Amino acid sequence: MKICIVSDSHDNRHLLEIAVGDASQRGAQAVLHCGDVVAPTTLKVLQKFGLPVHVVHGNNIGDPMATAQLSNDPESVVHYYGQDAGIELAGRRIFIVHYPHYARAMGTTGEWDLVCCGHDHRAEIDRIINVKQSETVFINPGTVAGVGASPTYVMGDLVNMSFEVIEVPVDISQAYNMPHVTVHN
């Protein structure tokens, strides 16, 4: 099973939609969003892909009640968990939280195959040796919104536990739906 991991969309519907669309074309069957969505309506752009979206909030919580309502809509693809989530996909135990230190700590327990986080806008893929002397994969997809860094997401394959940081395929001048501006003197 292939998955798309994003974080820190900060209301940038445009880049979030492009990232998930790209991942969908690459075969993604689910989306993990590691927080800082902010406005829950941002997630509505993902509806058209039909992929389940597993989301936690971050430090930019937005409106958790509206996010919960969106999640409870029978037509919605959004599954909202609050601060953190422990889910299973393709037989893999996955922990999702916004904060890297929290994800790393959970990775050391040996209870999870994969821990995912965001927050610092730095894309990273790492392997943590846990207390059971096995490896837990640590993923921070960076910021899909391109806030302070290039817009990125992580494409993953849960069967072989391989992951890759992908730059969101967009002309940065169009990252916020801004038209090209020509200045004449």
**What are the sequence ranges of the domains in the chain?**
2-174
In whole angstroms, give the CA distance from residue 135 to residue 124: 16
The CATH number that domain 2-174 falls under is 3.60.21.10
pTM for this entry: 0.92
pLDDT of 177 reads: 53
Mean pLDDT, the chain, integer? 93
pLDDT digits (tens, 9 = 90+) for 81-129: 999 999 999 999 999 999 999 999 999 999 999 999 999 999 999 999 9
pLDDT digits (tens, 9 = 90+) for 11-35: 999 999 999 999 999 999 999 999 9
